[in-house]
Structure 1
Amino acid sequence: MGTVDNPQNNLSQQVQSFWAKTGDEETPAQGMSLAQHMVDSAQVAQYLWRNWISQGSKALISSTLNLSESETEAFVAWVVGTHDIGKATPEFAGQLDAWANQDLLVYRQRIEDCGYIFPADLTTVQGRCPHSQYSQSIIFRWLMEQYQVEEDAAVWSIAQVSGAHHGMPAEYAETPNRGRRDEQLLDRVFQWPDQQNWADAWDELLTFITHETGAADALQKLVAGKGLTPEVQFFLTGLTIMSDWIASNPEFFPYEESKDQQARVQAGFETLSLSRPWQPEDFTDLTAEEIYRTRFGWGSGVVLHPMQKVAVDAACSLAHGGLVCIEAPMGQGKTEAGLVAAEILAHNAGKNGMMFAAPTQATANALFDRIDQWAQNAASSSEVVSMFLAHSKNQLNEKYNRKRFAKVQTFEPYSGEEKVKANVIAHQWFSKKKGVLSNFVVGTVDQVLMMALASRHVMLRHLGLGEKVVVIDEVHAYDAYMNVYLETALRWLGKMQAPVILMSATLPAQARQKLMRAYAEGRVKAKGRRPKNKRKPAEPPRSAEVDLSYPVIHTVSADGGAVKKWEIEQPQEHNQLSLRIIDDSFAELDRVLAPLETGGGCAAVICNTVGRAQEVYSHLQGLFLAEELMLVHSRFIALDRVAQEKILVEKLGKKANRKNGRPYRFIVVGTQVIEQSLDIDFDVMVTDHAPVDLILQRVGRLHRHGRDGERPPQFARPVCYVRGVKELGSSDTAPVFPDVAELIYNKALLLSSYAQLLPFFEGRDVQLPADISALVQGAYSGMPDLSETWIEEWQAARSDYDGKMSSSRRKAEGYTMNPRNGKMLYDFFKGAQLDGKDSDELKAEAKVRDTDDTLEVIVVQSDDDQTYRPLHDDYADQMPFDRDSPDKPDWKLANTLAASTIRLPHQFADNGKPAIANPFDKALDELERNQFSSWQKHYLLKGQLALVLDANFECVLVGKTVRYSKELGLQVIRNDMS
């Protein structure tokens, strides 16, 4: 930047009259000038480029733009500093007269006094053109004229960054009846002599920022070249949004102008206390054992699994980053291997953060503490690093909340033998959409998938994730619809050379190949490693021959996309597991669980649907004591689910034993949340039949932890009983599945899985991990080995399955931003089936999962239609509230209500029919009558629907009785009249 302490003093008084921000309610006329905000924004971007952006990203962007790093820095400061030039237009600068606020008219008066004319027809509220649109058009015209270029593609790619600084491309953000008002104004400015001073102001401001940033040479090269690639457009737009939000905050950059601009920027960042980039350690001189001991505090006697050693070698082999896919059995330390590999890849690729993505909120919550402990060791003892829990209910996580309100401390480096742990905080500024910008992020996989979704402020995800190593756990758990998003996200991550680690215990080979291919297809060559013939990009990896190697690691290099398979030594000893098929009667279930009555033990009963789980639980209530039973599924309010997770870990977690929390007798009845949930351990298991990979995931919770001498004798060997089949099958007769099972899982997969498991149902023991790969690959192969009597039924089911998968993929592709499909930001939003006004994170999360549209409600209870209270026992009596209270809820009540949400089940989902026959529309109409006016005053509750239960914790919704209990959760009972 320039050397003048107060650089805007060099501008004319006319240009200095433009405003960017009005003052607060107390001093509305004391705002901020546009010139000051432009300088602030440019210098914030420069600071972030020097002190926050990773070295890997800086090198990649410089290489992609064919600029030196200093030229790239100057350009970045310029593109951010100019983003609000559209505020120097009549529509923005003169809009204050429409506000009928006399205190604000001083802004317009000041501008008029400098000779600027406001065309009346361009300053109306109706159809106003956003200033971001003007910014884009002004920058486009200025660059075309300033550098006398004929081709506009490069210029357009630059101008679009400013046009999208509100989170959506300016072209996509058109409002009804507006047309191209920005072009109308610009045309009039250049045609009318008495309007020329507006154009002179733009030229003066843009020339000023170009001089202050030193960006003239960089702009000359860029407009004469190919401009910005899509991934750079997304990345720099994210950086522009981040810089603008910092520079616009009066806590960091007060509205009163400073005489010393450098001191102003320094003071702003001191107030913000932005956490510095993570500096991953170089492990070159350490053995694998030393690395794991350093990171996880393991003693010298701990023996690593072979997979954990190979993971180190595989990550070290990727000199500039890439993708690592780890496939290994449950309980072999994949999480620790993934974290160590992430640190190695971050160092090699020059990245400065890590995102760990899990399938569900429960798994993310369970991982948070483990990754927090790793982060404290992975960061320097002198560092303060930020960590974010990325899902919609993060305020319910006690450990995360403690970090949110912890005092920030800095530590001096420790010179002794014992390393002082780094201070890991949840930085207040990194909240909501900004959370992905934290050093370390733990969250649901949705946060990664939304990188591929055309949604408002998606550019922040490209910025945040492009700076990180992205670890995706249990990658097998995602369906065809979600995999479209995942493959697209991997292409973008490949383009940014953001390293990726995929982990699974049961990944079909076809799925692995698609994911590796997507990453390699998206990769971008760093400078000096480009193909000689730029017109012929390197081929994506060919599908490797499917084999049964397991455990196994595959890598894809960031340099040339080369695929390598890393063999892992098979353990000499295998765990033996018995699988026994039983019929679906309660009598048979009682027989299986009978040994618990006499000898004790901890059992899991996993059902494919909430309804089946509730039926099983209700049945067992007649056989066991209440304290010996627990029901877990998705239809409990969030507060109750968090409480359940805590109890499960205390009773069944790794640290629990018979002398410390583990009960003598305990039965957990639940749905699939158990297979993707907490690190818990059962003595015996009963599961509904499901695809074989999911069954293997479930049995990963069976005898998971070593409990020598603790397990009841009758459960000394692990046994999993399989039920949920309407008619059992044999080698000659295909099984018959309940209709509800085929609604959840495709019949073809259920058939092929049953066929793979049939020898084990008939007495053969499962050898873990030796049998995992053969079972999974056999069930998912194009033509599994089936009995001739099964073939015709399987082929019909497979044809139906393929059709549904193709439909799901087409549906997802309608929402995703595939980097194949455009060159400009607008291209990726233009074809998306998305409302441009959609800024709701929850709606965005819903779009990346192929589920029916359902309603989320806050459940409250009332005895008399006047006084209401939260549903949770711990808060109900403490927090009564009135329906129409004039006061907004206090923070404790608001947080409790926001944590009392539940998503209504399929009975109220959108069935695609007209409103008169659509339960979704009917339910929405009825629920909207329960509006609480006070809720609209609180950001956590605004717009939320309320489900009001009576004294019996029931209500009638769309003719159906809805009941909630702490034991069973939400139930829907069809009334006789409905």
Structure 2
Amino acid sequence: MTPPHTTPHTPSAAVQVLWAKSGQRSKGEGWLPVLHHLLDVGACAAAILEREPVSTRNLLAGDLGVPDTDLAVRWTCALAALHDLGKASPAFQHKAEVLAERVWKVLPWQNHAENTPHGLVTQKVLPPLLEARGWNSAVARRAAQAIGCHHGQRQDTPRAPDRGTGPEWQAVQNELVTLVLTAFGLQDAPAPPEITFAGGAFMRLAGLTSFADWVGSSFPLNGDPCPLPFTDPTAYLSRAVAQARAELDRIGWTTREPLAPDLAPLDETFNFIPGFSARPLQTLLADLLNTPDTRPALILVEAPMGEGKTEAALYAHLQLQNAAGYRGLYVALPTQATGNAMYARLRAFLGHQAARRPGQAPVTVDLQLLHGGSALNDIYQHDLVRTRSAQQQTLHLNPNTDRDASDTVRAGEWFSHRKRALLSEYGVGTVDQALLGVLNVNHQFVRLWGLGNRVIVLDEVHAYDTYTTQLIHALVRWMHALNSSVIIMSATLPNQTRQDLLNTWNVTPDPAPGYPRLTVARTGDPAPTSRHIPGPRRTQTVTLRGTDPAPAALAAQAVTLAEAGGTVTVIVNTVQRAQDIFKAVREQLGPRFQSMCKGSRHPERIGVHLYHARYPADDRAEREERVLRYLGKQPATYPRNGESHTADVRPERFILIATQVAEQSLDFDTDVMITDLAPIDLLLQRAGRLHRHEGNSGRRSAHETPTLFVAGLHDWPKEALNEHHWKYVYAPALMYRTWHALQGRIHLTLPDDLDPLVQRVYDPGTPTLEGLDEHQQATLRKADHHLKQQRRNQTSLGGQAHIGQPDTFLDLLPQPSLGEPDGEPAHDDTNATTDDLAAETPHFGTRLGDDSLRIVPIHRNGADYLDPKGQTAAQITTLQKNDWDTARAIYRRSLQVSRHDLIRHYRDHPTRRGTEHTGWAAHPLLRDAEPLILTGNQTAIGRTRVTLDPELGLTYERIE
């Protein structure tokens, strides 16, 4: 961007005294004029766009209808600069008394009753100034609203935003616009001809403006302002762009360029994975994307585990990036655990690609982990620490060529802030972080700008309810409007879900080919391209048996199966059941019981391990590591005596008791499984852990035939749904239909049975089921009606929750901010009684469900400690705001709970947790956490006794 040099300007006295920023206590030290800040932010926008791919700049040209991309970029940067034009008003200028006195000497002022935000003033005063320069009125109004909401929220433009503005103020506002346009060489340029300004254009401009404002606001205030902008704004702008480039270097915003411009074949691209050989899915998708096409694509991948969906998506990203000039990748998953696992995989992939680049210098890419528990991920925290040194925080656009692969992936600390994280080039985390872009939260447009012109991967989309699915549909529509490609992966999708997703891309759904299948929809095409994914693939026949759902019976069966040798996994639907079964197993085994968190293999004992989400975070992480150590691929690498150790540690006799947190998050292999009845897709997901790793063949003792025992399969499950509280976890209609679909079956063939069973349960052709008596049919009809009503309600709530569709968004009235809802499912809890499950008014987050609360168990022994031995102080009211190490240590002891009586207790009896300057309340990591004060590992809250047991985790007991 090189605007022409202009003749010197003679500034008015008024424009020289208007202030935008001041020093401490608003006394005027180191003050910054409005014009300087406008040009600083415009310069930052220019520096940002310099490093964006050509495709980003072309999109901005299309938004304004300007065929000359350089001219369009200059108009865009000028608009970003004018974001704080509203500071040139009495509403803002009166805020610093010393600085205001100089203003009142040259501009009229009267008592100012209103305190209108300056962003709203910008929205009011800028459009007529643009219209006077030839802009379309609707485009001018919407562009002003986009830059005016840079403090976080889109708001209606008030009719009279700034009492006291008169001709003198209008003159200086016009002068500021003239000076900004002059700086960018636009004073004599024709106005953009565009007559519409849709949602995608709004988000691009709003997101860029806020990002540029954040960077520009970091420029230091150094003494008296430089007079150059008033006489030669073009020359000042050139200096400011150089300063902006240096600041972008400091925070790690590097040039966005294709990761693999000379793309290697699949086998070579993934040769860092031992034994990798391209699968048919990967080859088919690569072939479908082989012809360069710059149009965004929606790709649906429906395939079972083991088909290489992740590698197919990563390779597709490289192809799409090369063809369309995309700026990066975000991989969104359903849980924090799946996000953690993907972070390690994506880190290895990016490191390999960034280092190999034949004939070109290696690049450094930034990778962020985005979810509420990222502070607990040791790999990510190590990457953050590694990039904090001054040398690595200042990145050059062309990194040195002597870096090895381990240095090519970084985690820039500036981008680790939750509002900024999606600005990073690459990211992996929960889907919730992406969905915040379509919720009415502060700076949602920054999140959408970060996701725009990018490849977005949504994995395991079958894991979401109707409400969250509506938000996903809204997100996909916005990605379409923002020129992103979306890859959606699932083991299988109900037909209606598949059709709905294709509709979001404005293509007519086609008849689904045979499962597994691949669908590619291109923007502008009337119909998608769909293909059956050919074999060969591994087929497994699983023996199916019913069993008694009573906890004592399941415990006895697990012990019997383990006594025969091999590994036994029990997956149940609630934490309470998991704890009850663990206690029953421990009692039945007596001296033969061996806790797998306190020891490893023992020749005369049976190892038993409990895993669910109602443990403090560090305990849960350790238990998760133990699951993968003993049931993951062997030999396993694990910590021992402070050092890394590798050995084959798969137990000879072992019982894992877990909740549904294990069904998606962990890659483990079990010899035999007992599971509670669950909806068919989740049941099959659990079954996929049976004989998962071929390397364990021949060492499964009595369980060489994979067998799935389903608790509740024998009898009509109505009683079990009530007695064991399954009806509070899963929709009874799906449970009844799953039960019926499995009746008479003695085997499951995977993956062949996967799609037919899912379609049968989720898209039933008839409301009645053969073989049910009248009472059962009536129960099913009632459950179906309830499910339909629930889906209608969730569809409605989901439609109300998101910001609207790209083509109608700006026609809707702005809504109040939701704050920062965090809907990530960090727990797997369900309450035990209907009293505790009383419905509450839903709040629009990324997920529906019970309210939850983050607590930290605190042991009170004279003082408050994190541990029962009293070695680590809790610092509830004394923690220093900048003490991140201690805050992380405290956070590692936290867990999320959803029990209503606990939540009500803390709402009614708020705990003193410090102030805005010290204590938990002051720290970003702990400001929403509450201490659970324990004496002797327990406490009573209302009629509930809460105990923190080292084996069972957090337990609840009703006090009669």
Q: TM-score range by the shorter chain?
A: 0.7 to 0.9
CA distance in 2, matches of 1:890, 1:85: 38
> Structure 2 vs 1, CA of residues 412 and 351 (structure 1 numbering), >3 Å: closer, same or farther?
closer
Alignment check: 8 A CA contact 2:609 2:655 kept = yes
Matched, 1:673 2:664: no
Match of 1:312 among 277, 286, 291: 286
Match of 1:170 among 147, 150, 155: 155
Q: CA deviation at 1:590?
A: 4.0
Residue identity opposite 1:401 in structure 2? Q
CA distance in 2, matches of 1:638, 1:775: 36
CA distance in 1, matches of 2:704, 2:879: 62
Q: CA deviation at 1:421?
A: 6.5
Alignment check: 8 A CA contact 1:132 1:164 kept = yes
What residue is the counterpart of 1:108 in the other structure?
100
Alignment check: 8 A CA contact 2:362 2:401 kept = no
What residue is the counterpart of 2:835 in the other structure?
none
Q: CA deviation at 1:437?
A: 0.7
Match of 1:265 among 226, 234, 241: 241
CA distance in 2, matches of 1:201, 1:410: 40
Residue identity opposite 2:955 in structure 1? Q
What residue is the counterpart of 1:361 in the other structure?
336
Q: CA deviation at 1:420?
A: 5.3
What residue is the counterpart of 1:787 in the other structure?
770
What residue is the counterpart of 1:951 in the other structure?
935
Alignment check: 8 A CA contact 2:328 2:426 kept = yes
Alignment check: 8 A CA contact 2:289 2:319 kept = yes
Residue identity opposite 2:733 in structure 1? A
Q: How does 1:905-920 map to 2 (within 5 A)?
A: 905-908=898-901, 920=903
Residue identity opposite 1:131 in structure 2? H
What residue is the counterpart of 1:508 in the other structure?
494
**Greater helix proportion:** 1
Alignment check: 8 A CA contact 2:23 2:30 kept = yes
Alignment check: 8 A CA contact 1:252 1:268 kept = no
Residue identity opposite 2:950 in structure 1? K
Residue identity opposite 1:404 in structure 2? L
What residue is the counterpart of 1:849 in the other structure?
847
> Structure 2 vs 1, CA of residues 420 and 847 (structure 1 numbering), >3 Å: closer, same or farther?
closer
> Structure 2 vs 1, CA of residues 252 and 645 (structure 1 numbering), >3 Å: closer, same or farther?
farther
CA distance in 2, matches of 1:247, 1:715: 64
Q: How does 1:153-552 map to 2 (within 5 A)?
A: 153-171=138-156, 180-182=159-161, 184-186=163-165, 189=166, 196-215=167-186, 220-222=191-193, 225-250=194-219, 257=226, 261=236, 262-273=238-249, 274-280=252-258, 286=264, 290-298=265-273, 302-316=276-290, 319=293, 320-379=295-354, 380=357, 382-407=362-387, 408=392, 423-431=408-416, 432-518=418-504, 520-521=505-506, 540-542=507-509, 544-546=510-512, 549-552=514-517
Alignment check: 8 A CA contact 2:116 2:161 kept = yes
| Structure 1 residue matching 2:375: 3-state secondary structure | helix
Alignment check: 8 A CA contact 1:751 1:794 kept = yes
Alignment check: 8 A CA contact 1:79 1:162 kept = yes
CA distance in 2, matches of 1:283, 1:138: 46
> Structure 2 vs 1, CA of residues 346 and 800 (structure 1 numbering), >3 Å: closer, same or farther?
same
What residue is the counterpart of 1:838 in the other structure?
819
Match of 2:122 among 121, 132, 135: 135
> Structure 2 vs 1, CA of residues 90 and 756 (structure 1 numbering), >3 Å: closer, same or farther?
same
> Structure 2 vs 1, CA of residues 277 and 721 (structure 1 numbering), >3 Å: closer, same or farther?
farther
What residue is the counterpart of 1:652 in the other structure?
631
> Structure 2 vs 1, CA of residues 769 and 26 (structure 1 numbering), >3 Å: closer, same or farther?
same
> Structure 2 vs 1, CA of residues 652 and 927 (structure 1 numbering), >3 Å: closer, same or farther?
farther
Alignment check: 8 A CA contact 1:277 1:352 kept = no
CA distance in 2, matches of 1:937, 1:479: 33
Q: CA deviation at 1:412?
A: 7.5
Residue identity opposite 1:851 in structure 2? G
Matched, 1:869 2:865: yes
Q: Deviations over 1:874-912 (max 9, x none)?
A: xx744215555496683322222233332232333xxxx
Unaligned runs of 5+ in 2: 229-234, 597-606, 637-645, 825-841
| Structure 2 residue matching 1:928: 3-state secondary structure | coil
Residue identity opposite 1:145 in structure 2? A
> Structure 2 vs 1, CA of residues 777 and 60 (structure 1 numbering), >3 Å: closer, same or farther?
same
| Structure 1 residue matching 2:270: 3-state secondary structure | helix
Alignment check: 8 A CA contact 1:349 1:499 kept = no
Q: CA deviation at 1:828?
A: 4.7
Q: CA deviation at 1:247?
A: 0.3
> Structure 2 vs 1, CA of residues 550 and 205 (structure 1 numbering), >3 Å: closer, same or farther?
same
| Structure 2 residue matching 1:95: 3-state secondary structure | coil
Q: CA deviation at 1:415?
A: 9.2
Q: CA deviation at 1:839?
A: 4.5
CA distance in 2, matches of 1:603, 1:79: 63
> Structure 2 vs 1, CA of residues 315 and 741 (structure 1 numbering), >3 Å: closer, same or farther?
farther
Q: How does 1:740-755 map to 2 (within 5 A)?
A: 740-755=725-740
Q: Deviations over 1:18-68 (max 9, x none)?
A: 11111247995112221111111111111111213x333332332343212
| Structure 2 residue matching 1:304: 3-state secondary structure | coil
CA distance in 2, matches of 1:420, 1:396: 24
CA distance in 2, matches of 1:673, 1:935: 32
CA distance in 2, matches of 1:886, 1:65: 50
> Aligned Cα RMSD in Å?
3.2
| Structure 2 residue matching 1:676: 3-state secondary structure | helix
What residue is the counterpart of 1:776 in the other structure?
758
> Structure 2 vs 1, CA of residues 932 and 363 (structure 1 numbering), >3 Å: closer, same or farther?
same
> Structure 2 vs 1, CA of residues 604 and 561 (structure 1 numbering), >3 Å: closer, same or farther?
farther
Residue identity opposite 1:899 in structure 2? R
Residue identity opposite 2:758 in structure 1? V
What residue is the counterpart of 2:896 in the other structure?
903
Residue identity opposite 1:202 in structure 2? Q
Residue identity opposite 2:850 in structure 1? D
Match of 1:756 among 738, 741, 753: 741
Match of 2:539 among 558, 574, 583: 574
| TM-score, normalising length: structure 1 | 0.85
What residue is the counterpart of 1:916 in the other structure?
none
> Structure 2 vs 1, CA of residues 840 and 360 (structure 1 numbering), >3 Å: closer, same or farther?
closer
Pick which of 647-656 and 926-935 moved more.
Answer: 926-935
Pick which of 272-281 and 611-620 moved more.
Answer: 272-281
Q: CA deviation at 1:267?
A: 3.8
| Structure 2 residue matching 1:704: 3-state secondary structure | coil
| Structure 2 residue matching 1:220: 3-state secondary structure | coil
What residue is the counterpart of 1:720 in the other structure?
708
Alignment check: 8 A CA contact 2:558 2:570 kept = no
| Structure 2 residue matching 1:605: 3-state secondary structure | strand
| Structure 2 residue matching 1:132: 3-state secondary structure | helix
| Structure 2 residue matching 1:566: 3-state secondary structure | strand
Q: CA deviation at 1:563?
A: 0.9
What residue is the counterpart of 2:640 in the other structure?
none
CA distance in 2, matches of 1:611, 1:255: 66
Residue identity opposite 1:972 in structure 2? Y
Alignment check: 8 A CA contact 1:296 1:374 kept = no
Unaligned runs of 5+ in 1: 98-104, 173-178, 190-195, 522-539, 909-918
CA distance in 2, matches of 1:8, 1:775: 76
CA distance in 2, matches of 1:201, 1:342: 49
Q: CA deviation at 1:8?
A: 9.4
